[in-house]
Amino acid sequence: MVSSEFRRDCSELLLGGVMRKIRVLIAKPGLDGHDRGAKVISRALRDAGMEVIYTGIRQTPEQISNAAIQEGVDVVGLSCLSGAHNTLFPKVVQLLKEKAAEDILVLGGGIVPADDIPGLKRSGIREIFQPGASTEEIIKYIQENVKV
């Protein structure tokens, strides 16, 4: 298997190193199976010119952090509607840190009460998008916060 780093380097070369596409992993941590939002966002980001990998449902934080590193992504978008976000989101950030990949931008979304947001941000989730957020907002946020 060709390493994702290698592929990433190649695409940078091909694109002259400036026009590289932003790579995003959209992931569903935990047991929640509601992935309408995850799929809609994946497609919207793709339409906005990003490369998007969607993990599918029922992923552990370990699987997500491994996939993020293997795929060489710039952004991890976590979606959880089951209320398990306070346990699962920080774990992903923690694992990325342990694997020296803390430069990956981690975002979250789903049914996340406002009171939980400060704690999640302290744990390293850079932004939380609540119900009603538009894909446009998310695209803009990623474009402004990822350097390629």
Q: Say how many residues touch other proteins, by CB under 8 A.
A: 32
Q: Which of 92, 33, 42 is nearest to 68 (CA)?
A: 92
The two structure tokens encoding residue 148: 């390629």
Smallest distance, other proteins to C-beta of residue 17, A: 32
Residue 130, C-beta contacts closer than 8 angstroms, at least 6 positions apart: 109, 112, 114
Smallest distance, other proteins to C-beta of residue 12, A: 30
Report residue 92: phi and psi, to 5°. -65, -45
Residue with tokens 């699962």: 88
Smallest distance, other proteins to C-beta of residue 117, A: 9
Which of 22, 26, 35, 106 lies at the binding interface for other proteins (CB under 8 A)?
Answer: 35
Which of 10, 15, 17, 56 lies at the binding interface for other proteins (CB under 8 A)?
Answer: 56
The CB density around residue 87, as the number of other CB atoms within 10 Å, is 12
Q: Whose Cβ is closer to other proteins: residue 48's or residue 101's? A: 48
Smallest distance, other proteins to C-beta of residue 14, A: 29
Which of 8, 32, 45, 75 lies at the binding interface for other proteins (CB under 8 A)?
Answer: 32
What is the β-pairing status of strands 23-27 and 51-54?
parallel
Residue with tokens 């993990």: 55
Q: Is the Cβ–Cβ distance between 85 and 112 less than 8 Å?
A: yes
Of the ranges 10-18, 67-75, 127-135, 140-148, which one interacts with other proteins (CB under 8 A)? 127-135
Smallest distance, other proteins to C-beta of residue 20, A: 26
Residues in contact with other proteins by the rule CB under 8 A: 30-36, 39-40, 43-44, 56-58, 60, 82-88, 111, 113-115, 130-132, 134-136
